[in-house]
A and B are shown apart, each in its own frame.
Chain A
Amino acid sequence: MKKLKNINIVLVFVMLMLITVVVPAAAQSSAEVSFGIRPTKALEGEKETFSYFSYRVSPGSIFNDEALVLNDGNETVILKLYVADGLTAINGGTDFSKEGEESSGISRGTHSWISLSETEVVLAPGEEKLIPFQVSIPADASAGQYIAGLIAQAVPEDQNLSSEETSSAEGEAQFAVKLIRRVGVAVVMNVPGEQVASLNIDDISLYRQDEAGTTFSIQLRNGGNTFMQSKGFFIVTDRNAERIITTIPLNFDTILPGDKATFYVPQAARFADGKYLLSVVLDYEGQRAILEGIGMNIKNGQPELEGQMLNNLFAPEEIEVFFEKEEKSEGFLWTTIAILSFILALFVGWFVYRSGGKKEEADPIF
C-alpha cells in the first residue's frame, strides 16, 4: 500500500513535469517563424551569462567564443547575422543599433570589435548552428563597461503587415506597415580600471496632458563608465513648494555608459489650472541626482513649462524621508508575505498531520 502511494507520488511528479514541458512546446508550435541567438555556456557564479555574454577583458586582448543560433519554429528561416553597438532605449534598457548605424555612448563603434564567422544562416525547423566569433579589444580602450550585440534578423526582413494594400480609392489614403523582427544578445566587455558612477537629470518636460492623464518626460545622462539604474521620485508641489501635491515613485532601467535616455512618466490624473513646481530626485550607487523647481503653469487646461524657478527646494533630510517612506512600505509588504507564508505552512502541516499522519507505520525503505 505504502509502495503504491510512493509510486503514485512519483507519477504525479512526472506528470507535472511533462505538463511544464508540453504546454510551452504546444504554445510554440502555433508559431510560424521563431528563432533566437544565445550563449552556449555560462560562467559559474555569474548567472547573467546564461542570458548574455559577459567578459572581463584587457585592452589589446583577443579571444574567441561562439553563439548558438536556432530555429525553434516550424518553418525554414533565413537569418541575417551581424554585430551592433549597444545603446539605451527610450524608457531605459539595453537595445542595439540598426545594421550599419552607430550608437552615441561609450559603446559607439563596439560592433567593429567583434567579427562573426558567418553573416547569414539557413536553418530548418528545429535546427541549431554554432556561430564562432572573435572579440578584439582595442589597445587604447579605457576602463568601463562596453556593450555590443549579436543580432539575428529574419530574412526577408519584412514580414508584411499589410493594410488593405490595394490601389487607393478616389480621395483615400491607405497604409501598410512592414516589419523587421530581430533578436539581440548583449556582449558585455568589462575593461578593468577606475569605475565612475555619474548620473545627471538634464531635463523634465511635460510631454502630454489629455483625457487619459498627464505624461512627463525626464532626460537622464549617464556620465560615468558603468551601467546605471536608479530609483527615486517625481514630486509635484504648489508654486511656493509649501504643499506636496503628488509624488510618483520612479524605477528607471539601465542606462548604458555615456548615453542619454528619455523616460516617460505617466500620471493618471490631469492637473487643474494653476502653477506648480516639478522636481525629480534619484538614488543611484549610493549617490543622489536632483533636478528641482521646474515651473509648470496650466491655463485653460493647457500646460506650459517655465524653466527652473527655484533651487534647493528640499533639504537633504527631507529627501531622505521620501526614500525612508518607500523602504518602509516595501518592508511592510515583505513582512506581510512572510506572515501569510508562515500561516499557510502551519495550515498545510496541520492538514498533512490530520489526513495521513496516523494511518500507517513508516516504511523502512521509503
Chain B
Amino acid sequence: MKRMRSVWLAVFTALIFIGLLTTHSSALTILTSALSFPGVFLNGYDQSVLGVTSAWQVDATSEAGGWNAAISATEFTNGFGGVISVSNFEFRLADANISLVSGDPVLPNSTQTSYTPLSGTALKFISAASGTGDGVYDFLPEFRLTVPAETYVGSYTSTITVSVNTGP
C-alpha cells in the first residue's frame, strides 16, 4: 500500500513536470509601450526633448540559447521637405532600468548605457548570453531628440524598428 502511494506520488510529480515543460513552451517576444515627445516651440536655438514611454518587456521564457534586441530608426520628416536627421534621435538603456519579472535572476545586459544616435543600422541594446536570460524582463529605454534651430514648424514622423532575435 505504501509502495503504491509512493508510485502515485512519483507519477503525480512527473505529470506536473511535463505540464511545466509544456506550458513553458513559448517563443521569444518583445512588447513595447507608446513613446511620445512633447511639442517644441521653435525659438531659433537647438533644443533637446526627452521621450516619454513606460516599461517595455522581453519574454524570453525557455530561451536558453541567448538572444538580443536591436533598434534602428528613420529620419523625422514632415511630408513637406522638412527633415530632422536621425542622428539627432538618441537612445540609451541604463542597466538600472532592467528588472526581473520572472525566471532567471541573472538579468540581461544593456549594451548601450549612454546616449547614442540611432541610425538605419540596427543598434543592439540588450542581450543575454547563451545559458542566461531565460525569463521575463522589464526595461525602460530612454529617448532624446535634439531639434535643430533651423527646424520648420510642422508635424514630424519617424519610424523605429525593434527586433528581438535568436542567433549565434
Chain A positions within 8 Å of B6 at CB level: 365-366
Whether a CB of chain A sits under 8 angstroms from the CB of B35 is: yes
Chain B residues whose C-beta falls within 8 Å of the C-beta of A24 in the assembled complex: 24, 26, 59, 61, 101-103, 135-136
Q: Are B153 and A168 in contact (CB under 8 A)?
A: yes
Determine whether B132 belongs to the interface, using a CB cutoff of 8 Å to chain A: no
Cβ contacts under 8 Å, B161 to chain A: 98, 179-182
Q: A147-B167, A164-B39 are in contact. Are A31 and B31 (CB under 8 A)?
A: yes
State whether B42 touches A171 (Cβ < 8 A): yes
Q: Which residues of B contact A76 (CB under 8 A)?
A: none
Residue in B13, B159, B168 whose Cβ sees the most chain A Cβ within 10 Å: B168
Complex: chain A residue closest to B143, CB-CB: A177
**Chain B 82-119 interface residues, beta-carbon cutoff 8 Å to A:** 101-103, 111-116, 119
Q: How far is the CA of A107 from the CA of B30 in the complex (A)?
A: 25
A27-B155 in contact given A34-B31, A89-B68 (Cβ < 8 Å): no
Residue among A91, A188, A208 making CB contact with B112, cutoff 8 Å: A91
A10, A34, A47, A179 — most chain B CB neighbours (10 Å): A179
Query: Please, how many angstroms separate the alpha-carbon atoms of A117 and B158 in the complex?
Result: 32
Give chain B interface residues in 40-94, CB to chain A under 8 Å.
40-42, 49, 51, 53, 57, 59, 61-68, 70, 72, 76, 78
Could you mark each residue 135-168 of chain B with 1 if its beta carbon is under 8 Å from any beta carbon of chain A, else 0?
1100000000101000111111111111111111
Cβ A72 vs Cβ B39 within 8 A: no
Contact B159 A177 (CB under 8 A): yes
Q: Name the contact of B122 in the complex, choosing from A23, A36, A48, A90 (C-beta under 8 A).
A: A90
Inter-chain contacts of A175 with B (CB < 8 A):
36-37, 39-40, 49, 76, 145, 155-158
Measured CB to CB, the closest approach of chain A to B114, in angstroms, equals: 5
Q: How far is the CA of A47 from the CA of B132 in the complex (A)?
A: 13
Is A25 positioned at the interface, with any CB of B under 8 Å from its CB? yes
A70 engages B27 (CB within 8 Å): yes
A169 to chain B: which residues have CB within 8 Å?
A: 39, 41
Query: Looking across the interface, which residue of chain B has its beta carbon closest to that of A18?
Result: B16
Query: Does A119 count as interface, using CB distance less than 8 angstroms?
Result: no
Q: Which stretch in A155-163, A313-321, A335-343 binds the other chain?
A: A155-163
- Chain A: interface size category: 35 or more
Task: Tell me how far the C-beta of B19 lies from the nearest C-beta in chain A, rounded to whole angstroms.
Answer: 7
Contact A47 B64 (CB under 8 A): yes
Complexed CA–CA distance, A165 and B70 (Å): 26
B168 pairs with A183, CB closer than 8 A:
no
Q: Judge whether A173 and B57 touch: CB under 8 Å.
A: no
Chain A residue with the shortest CB-CB distance to B155? A174
A140 contacts partner chain B, Cβ-Cβ < 8 Å:
no
Specify the chain A residue showing the minimal Cβ separation from B22.
A21
| B27 proximity list for chain A (CB < 8 A) | 35-38, 68, 70, 72, 183
Known: A159-B32, A253-B127. A23 touches B102 (CB 8 A): yes
Please state if A173 and B156 are interface contacts (CB–CB under 8 Å): yes
Interface membership of A172, Cβ < 8 A: yes
A86, B165: Cα distance in complex, Å? 11
How far is it, in angstroms, between the C-alpha of A213 and the C-alpha of B116 when the chains are bound?
13
A1-31 at interface with B (beta carbon < 8 Å) = 3, 6-7, 10, 13-14, 17-18, 20-21, 23-25, 27-28, 31
Docked-complex contact B2 and A72, CB < 8 angstroms:
no
Known: A48-B168, A188-B168. A89 touches B158 (CB 8 A): no
Nearest Cβ in chain B — how far from A217, in angstroms? 9
- Please report the C-alpha to C-alpha distance between residue A266 and residue B59 in the assembled complex, in whole angstroms: 28
Question: Do B155 and A167 have beta carbons less than 8 Å apart?
Answer: yes
Name the one of A23, A47, A86, A165 contacting B167, with C-beta atoms under 8 angstroms.
A86
Closest beta carbon of chain B to A262's beta carbon, Å: 8
A-B contact pairs, 21 of them (CB 8 A): A6-B9, A14-B13, A20-B102, A24-B102, A31-B57, A34-B31, A51-B166, A52-B167, A68-B27, A89-B124, A95-B122, A147-B168, A149-B165, A175-B39, A175-B158, A181-B30, A184-B163, A184-B166, A184-B167, A185-B28, A208-B114
Binding site for B on A (CB under 8 A): 3, 6-7, 10, 13-14, 17-18, 20-21, 23-25, 27-28, 31-38, 47-48, 50-52, 68, 70, 72, 86-87, 89-96, 98, 145, 147, 149, 151, 158-165, 167-186, 188, 207-208, 212-213, 215, 227, 253-254, 264, 266, 364-366
Question: Beyond the given A159-B34, A161-B53, could you list 9 further A-B residue pairs with CB under 8 A, ordered by the A residue number?
Answer: A3-B2, A36-B29, A47-B65, A95-B122, A96-B165, A175-B155, A177-B35, A184-B163, A213-B114
* B residues lining the A interface (CB < 8 Å): 2-3, 5-6, 9, 12-13, 16-17, 19-20, 23-24, 26-32, 34-42, 49, 51, 53, 57, 59, 61-68, 70, 72, 76, 78, 101-103, 111-116, 119, 121-125, 127, 130, 135-136, 145, 147, 151-168
